[in-house]
Structure 1
């Protein structure tokens, strides 16, 4: 799928291959020749897996809770099923702490080895997590597909930003095929939903971002990173990038891989990283920022948005 938008930004066409274009001064502007830029004119408060501090994660009610809380964006995880469906789910396996079988006992099974029909038999709304004392359950909620979630968002929150994390592990066998099929499914879904102008292709596997750059260069791309773990010498998570050419310059590495946004754990975000990223035309989107002091700290550092389990709290602190 080479073109999801009819008229990509002229800056994209003129950019050096492999490098993201600088963000224009009026990042919220749209028009016939300019896709809307993340994050627009305001700090983007993104609900993590919907709003999992409020409602059981990655369920449609959790996304609705994020919208109702005032989140301007949502982050979600996508995986492939055995029959090629793109589903919104974080874990590679069906975990007992989040899932209740209602037919066949599928606890421990891999998501990519189950069909959508099998996954639909699992109640993913009845298990609350002790880490989130305010979390509300939604009994009998089922795993949703990406098109289903995007459709709900289109109807309830048409201006929301979508940060779609493609869960791809480059150390697993067959990853090249998995990566391509999952990306194809995501591109088809955002095109069909009309959300391409408000979507970030987001992944720890930077080869996903390189593939997205080649297949849909007009979409914005966000590079997830854990410094010292996925961003380190010899890491398999960096696509074609050679870590040794960038070292401590994380923002420079993200720019070199052709992403538009750097998304590190919030603990590694400071004003120097934000300044370097902005100098390169990158946005900064830390995760997962839940504590009031951390929320204030990353906003003071100048980030463009943040991912949080509790968008209601985040907006009360920094909104």
Structure 2
């Protein structure tokens, strides 16, 4: 669902838009759905992202004790957004003890992750909602897209994995990759899915399962250089996905020469989005897809 060009807006809306209004072709990704507008990593949030015209729904996955793939940013219940069944808030002191990797999926449904809203996102609409299975979320989006006659959307799925979590908060990389891969095959969305991670080992495991899966390397600081991370991976990923403040003209040129797309995260200011797009990035990951140019 590429952004409408100025010409399309003039034709469809008949409005007197400014000729200076920017128009770009790029991959607009809704971060955790549309976190700035509705609870993160939830089915309502994903549907809102689709309504706002995203090309790609970005989300995170973890694994339960019964080996279900669940949509969640942390492998525990974040105190900022979580309430217990009785309505009491989860505190920061206990959040990591609420380990999803030690719970069955049924047990995860005892915790609400939307009714309190999110103090970091004052525009977010609060609602009662729980963490969904990956399969539930994908089927809900696919059904909504079909019913609304929207073009097919893509998915960008992050494995929440790092070495000190192995066997504690997450499976080992090979098992994590296999569980996710099997789900993508069953859901028939493999050709429309990016698998991304800060953990190169899950990307390596996914590449070994299927060399055709689109992979994105997430990076958060300058120590994770293109040269270092591609050496660790043993291959050049399809997408380089850095924190947006790491994007420079030099990085744009380097990723272009290596044949990688450059898609930074998480860009919530419209002027910054425009600056990055003018630099030549291939996509934007944002909590506010409604702000996209």
Q: Structure 1: which 5+ runs fail to align?
A: 1-40, 233-242
Deviation at 1:281, TM superposition (A): 0.9
Counterpart Cα distance in 1 of 2:200 and 2:237: 9
Equivalent of 2:247 in 250, 261, 269: 269
* Mapped pair 1:55 → 2:48: no
Equivalent of 2:99 in 107, 110, 127: 110
Counterpart Cα distance in 2 of 1:289 and 1:145: 27
Counterpart Cα distance in 2 of 1:254 and 1:180: 16
1:312 maps to which residue? 290
TM-score, L = length of structure 2: 0.82
Q: Work out whether residues 176 and 202 of structure 2, in 8 Å CA contact, stay in contact via their aligned partners in 1.
A: no
Equivalent of 1:167 in 160, 163, 168: 160
Deviation at 1:42, TM superposition (A): 3.6
2:28 maps to which residue? 45
Deviations 1:54-76 (A, max 9, x none): 00111100000000011111110
1:127 maps to which residue? 116
* Mapped pair 1:95 → 2:78: yes
Q: How does 1:135-150 map to 2 (within 5 A)?
A: 135-139=124-128, 141-150=129-138
Change (3 A) 1:278 1:255: farther
1:189 maps to which residue? 183
Q: Work out whether residues 254 and 261 of structure 1, in 8 Å CA contact, stay in contact via their aligned partners in 2.
A: no
Q: Structure 2: which 5+ runs fail to align?
A: 1-23, 146-150
Q: How does 1:216-231 map to 2 (within 5 A)?
A: 216-228=210-222, 231=224
Once superposed, what is the RMSD of the aligned Cα atoms?
2.3
Counterpart Cα distance in 1 of 2:154 and 2:48: 15
> What secondary structure, in the 3-state scheme, does the structure 1 residue paired with 2:273 have?
helix
TM-score, L = length of structure 1: 0.75
2:59 maps to which residue? 76
> What secondary structure, in the 3-state scheme, does the structure 2 residue paired with 1:65 have?
helix
Counterpart Cα distance in 2 of 1:86 and 1:76: 12
Q: How does 1:192-207 map to 2 (within 5 A)?
A: 192-207=186-201
Q: Work out whether residues 63 and 171 of structure 2, in 8 Å CA contact, stay in contact via their aligned partners in 1.
A: no
Deviation at 1:278, TM superposition (A): 1.2
Deviations 1:19-61 (A, max 9, x none): xxxxxxxxxxxxxxxxxxxxxx940110000001000111100
> What secondary structure, in the 3-state scheme, does the structure 1 residue paired with 2:165 have?
coil
> What secondary structure, in the 3-state scheme, does the structure 1 residue paired with 2:130 have?
coil
> What secondary structure, in the 3-state scheme, does the structure 2 residue paired with 1:122 have?
coil
Deviation at 1:207, TM superposition (A): 1.0
Deviation at 1:305, TM superposition (A): 0.7
Q: Work out whether residues 32 and 45 of structure 2, in 8 Å CA contact, stay in contact via their aligned partners in 1.
A: yes
Counterpart Cα distance in 1 of 2:73 and 2:131: 11
Deviations 1:115-139 (A, max 9, x none): 1111011111202112212101122
Deviation at 1:165, TM superposition (A): 0.2
